[in-house]
Structure 1
Amino acid sequence: MEQAVFTVNNVWMMVATALVFIMHLGFAALESGLTRSKNTTNVLFKNTLIPGIGLLTYALVGFNLMYPGFASGTSMDFFGFSGFGLTLPEGGETNAYNAGYTYWTDFLFQGMFAATCATIVSGAVAERIKLHSFMIFSVLFVAITYPIIGSWKWGYGWLNTLGFLDFAGSTLVHSVGGWGALAGILLLGARIGKYEGKKVNPIAGHSMPLAVLGTFMLWLGWFGFNGGSVLSADPGAVSRVLVTTSLAAAAGGLAAAFTILFTTKKYDLGMVLNGILAGLVGITAGADVMGVLDAVLIGLISGVIVVFSVLAFDKLKIDDPVGALSVHLVCGIFGTLAVGIFGSKAGLNQLMIQALGVAACGAAAFGTAFLFFFVLKKTMGIRVTPEEEIEGLDHHEHGMSAYVLHNAEVSSKVEVTAHTNGAVTKEKPVAVH
């Protein structure tokens, strides 16, 4: 019976791992949909390599940086490292390692999380960053920044001993990625034409269907992201987490829809998508300790916050093509603090501990990311030339286009003369980017 329960637990953890893997497809679709068609191949290329970078760097150093062997409940350590590579411990393929999963399952599940951090940065710096510079940054961020910060809580380091709570990573994954994204944006600057004086010029993405597909893929993947963080197939705990996760996502989407409607008098689909993701990020820190009403309130507040955050970043001329800062950074911070405000762990003391964790993780993530980007900027450069940016990264970085359009759909530099009812009309069709 004990072996059967262990097998069921491990199978669920592998299913959850697969669901988290699917999130990378969601990020790829969402980011490419919310950016211009001339940069689609570039966005997809980054999102295709990031899981590979994440898994390999996590196998080489990240896993043993994140789980260095700190003593649970007593360690006040900030840093530890238990060696390079993966080494199967004695009993690692049995329940002697853990009642819920094997050593291999543990690595793979955690490795999928690691890659998510770099994916968050990818969308925020899209359409103007040099590909090779971003790839180098991703290796450094996933290999060093993410696992060290993660060890403070999930590796039983000092934040865990203080009582900091982050169930599935509102801070340790999402806001860490968000801080990295902010550092990149500040050093890169805005896209050409985005801001002119006090005017904000919207730069529309090229495919809302792709963005919607990506959002629903992410929502699906979150069942593994949060549900797998139970670290077993416990029926009560897993089902409760899936309910709180989904309720927050639903509330976030609705809240964002009505908030942007009252603000701009428009039904903005992009804001609804960000509202759903905001609710998911917001609930992630406390999905295991929230009741139904708590989850709905967190989703509603996250949906409102994300709208005003997107508008505020534009006023500050901080150019984020996909809203990653608002979704992952701002709502990640809120979701972490919400553990001290809502649910079974609410209280002033817990709120103060949560705030300390947010500040410490934020300082470490932003500081290291800024350092990585700054060194890259001063050495090989991080931004493409104006010509490359205007013509599109697909052409200059990849020598190919994501879409092949027929001549009838592509503009010609030669004027086309059309005869309509005897009248002559000169037209210059313009290709959509």
Structure 2
Amino acid sequence: MNEVFELSYALDTFYFLVCGALVMWMAAGFAMLEAGLVRSKNTTEILAKNFALFAIACFMYLVCGYAIMYGGGYFLSGIMETGVTGSADDWYYAPSSDFFFQVVFVATAMSIVSGAVAERMKLWAFLAFAVVMTGFIYPMEGSWTWGGNPVFGMFELSMVDFAGSGIVHLAGASAALAGVILLGARKGKYGKNGEINAIPGANLPMATLGTFILWLGWFGFNGGSVLQTSTVDTANAVAIVFLNTNAAAAAGAIAAMIVARILFKKADLTMILNGALAGLVVITAGPDTPTPLLASIWGAIGGVLVVFSILTLDKLKIDDPVGAISVHGVCGLLGLLLVPVTNDGATFMGQIVGALTIFIWVFGASLIVWAILKAVMGIRVSEEEEYEGVDLSECGMEAYPEFNKG
């Protein structure tokens, strides 16, 4: 390898690893967001879930997930078999950095499930599902998309998904929806006469901090998906992706705030936070092709859509404490459908088929796994445990013991 190539290789590898670390930091964002939006009596358990699911995702993807998704791995051999092929001109980054970048995406998909089933699911049932989701369900759909393999050997997908609006976010929301349907709503959420009772989160400053952390981590999520930054073209591409990602988030937050003001006569902070996340999810499918103006419009549409989606799911009595299904599922689908507007390499039919494949596989497989867990060990805590809070029943400790006893 000549000196120029060695420098490019080192720079691209370092950039890839830093972006992966930013995405890993999103795990902290999800933990803070979810802990802020649940009641104080459930804080320790939601934090335990987020920490444990990240560890499980990392281990399962190392053991079998990466091999299923890309047809290689180095859990036993110590050698990554994919990511570097052909001549030196094809080598962009160290292959092990590809694994690290991919594994934090798996954890992100599983984090989406955590918030949707919060406050009433058994911890160990959730972790058992995390093993299957991160070790098999997600890698399978990933092999049909980013892996480039035919769907069960029958047909190939032509979906374009730059950083994972469908592959990561829609997948996570599909698994969450299956769990929520079998789990049921929290006690007291819906009245006998059809009324919807608000259950406020305990710590909105923490939820806000979590959203800012996610916003920051998303630059690694989308920016790292450029894969390189050592040439003029790739450096410019990274800058455009960063710009569009930020614009979509800002526009999503503003749009959600305005809609909330119109509907509720108040600036609903939770809707503002979810509006920013909705903008981020929407632009993730194609942050490389829109102009900043279009990226802002896409983000604003996501910010509007997420408010109405959250309200609609509540009317359908689908209890999602953090709005994860709306943010990641509904807006993930929107992001996929917007890609062909600015990307000539994508078609609406290809995007629709890809989205349907992801949803049907992940929702169906997850529903089966959730049903098995429900039959074998149960997935919901008792009514008494739910009333007292799952912190004590599942973790044996409270997040704020002095506050609760006072």
TM-score, normalising length: structure 2 = 0.93
- Structure 2 residue runs without a partner (length 5+): none
The one-letter amino acid of 2:349's match is M
Of 153, 156, 165, which residue of structure 1 is paired with 2:145?
153
Change over 3 Å in CA distance of 1:101–1:385 after alignment to 2: same
Deviations 1:134-159 (A, max 9, x none): 00000001111101101111111237
SS of equivalent residue, structure 1 residue 402: coil
1:191 aligns with 2:186: yes
Residue aligning to 1:6: 9
User: 1:163 Cα deviation (Å)?
Assistant: 2.6
Note the 1:131-170 alignment, pairs <5 A: 131-158=123-150, 162-170=157-165
Instruction: Pick closer, same or farther for the CA change 1:85–1:352 going to 2, 3 Å.
Output: farther
C-alpha change, 1:90 and 1:122, in structure 2 (3 Å) is closer
Q: In the alignment, what sits opposite 1:336?
A: 336
* Aligned residue identity for 2:172: G
Change in Cα spacing, 1:2 to 1:346, as seen in structure 2 (3 Å) is closer
Deviations 1:82-101 (A, max 9, x none): 79646415798898595321
Range with bigger deviation, 187-196 or 233-242 = 233-242
Q: Does 1:396 align with 2:393?
A: yes
Query: Which residue of structure 2 lines up, in the alignment, with residue 249 of structure 1?
Result: 249
Among 34, 56, 60, the alignment partner of 2:63 is 60
Looking at structure 2, the residues matched to 358 and 387 of structure 1 have their Cα atoms a distance apart, in angstroms, of 40
Q: Does the Cα contact within 8 Å between 1:61 and 1:85 map onto a contact in 2?
A: no
Structure 1 unmatched ranges of 5 or more = 70-81, 412-433
The answer to whether the 8 A contact 2:145-2:157 is kept is no
Mapped contact 1:279–1:300 kept (Cα < 8 A): yes
Structure 1 residue matching 2:401: 3-state secondary structure: coil
Q: Residues 24-173 of structure 1: matches in 2 within 5 Å? A: 24-68=27-71, 85=76, 87-89=78-80, 96=88, 99-158=91-150, 162-173=157-168
- CA contact 2:15–2:224 (8 Å) conserved in 1: yes
Residue 228 of structure 1 aligns to which amino acid in structure 2?
G
Q: Is the 8 A contact 2:279 2:298 kept in 1?
A: yes
CA-based RMSD: 2.0
Name the counterpart of 1:425.
none
CA distance in 2, matches of 1:351, 1:32: 38
Does residue 383 in structure 1 map to residue 380 in structure 2? yes
Kept after mapping to 1: 8 A contact 2:282/2:302: yes
> Which residue is 1:226 aligned to?
222
Letter paired with 1:191: R
Q: Which amino acid aligns with 1:88?
A: I
Output aligned runs, 1:200-219, within 5 Å.
Answer: 200-219=196-215
Any conservation in 2 of the 1:27–1:218 contact (CA below 8 Å)? Answer: yes
- Distance, in Å, in 1 between the alignment partners of 2:357 and 2:138 is 13
Q: What's the TM-score once normalised by structure 1's chain length?
A: 0.87
- Inter-partner Cα distance in structure 2 for 1:34 and 1:63: 33
Deviation of 1:305 after TM superposition, in Å, equals 0.3
Paired residue secondary structure (1:195): coil
* Counterpart code for 1:379: V
1:260 is displaced (CA, Å) by: 1.1
Deviations 1:258-298 (Å, cap 9, x if unpaired)? Answer: 01111111110000000000000000001122221221111
Match of 1:318 in 2: 318
List 4+ stretches of structure 1 deviating above 3 A. 82-87, 89-98, 158-162
SS in 2 for 1:383: coil
- Aligned 8 A contact 2:69 2:142 in 1: yes
- Residue matched to 1:365: 362
Tell me the distance in 1 between the aligned counterparts of 2:396 and 2:311: 35
Query: Any idea what SS the aligned residue of 2:161 has?
Result: coil
Distance change >3 Å, CA 243–CA 267, structure 1 → 2: same
Distance in 2 between the 1:97 and 1:194 partners? 58
More displaced 10-residue stretch of structure 1: 244-253 or 60-69:
60-69
Greater alpha carbon shift after TM alignment, 252-261 vs 283-292: 283-292
The CA deviation at 1:5 is: 1.1
Cα distance, 1:344 vs structure 2: 3.1
Residues 195, 57 of structure 1: alpha-carbon distance in 2 compared, 3 angstrom cutoff = same
Give, in angstroms, the shift of residue 201 of structure 1: 0.4
CA–CA separation in structure 1 for the residues paired with 2:21 and 2:190:
40
SS across alignment from 1:133: helix
Q: Which structure is higher in helix share?
A: 2
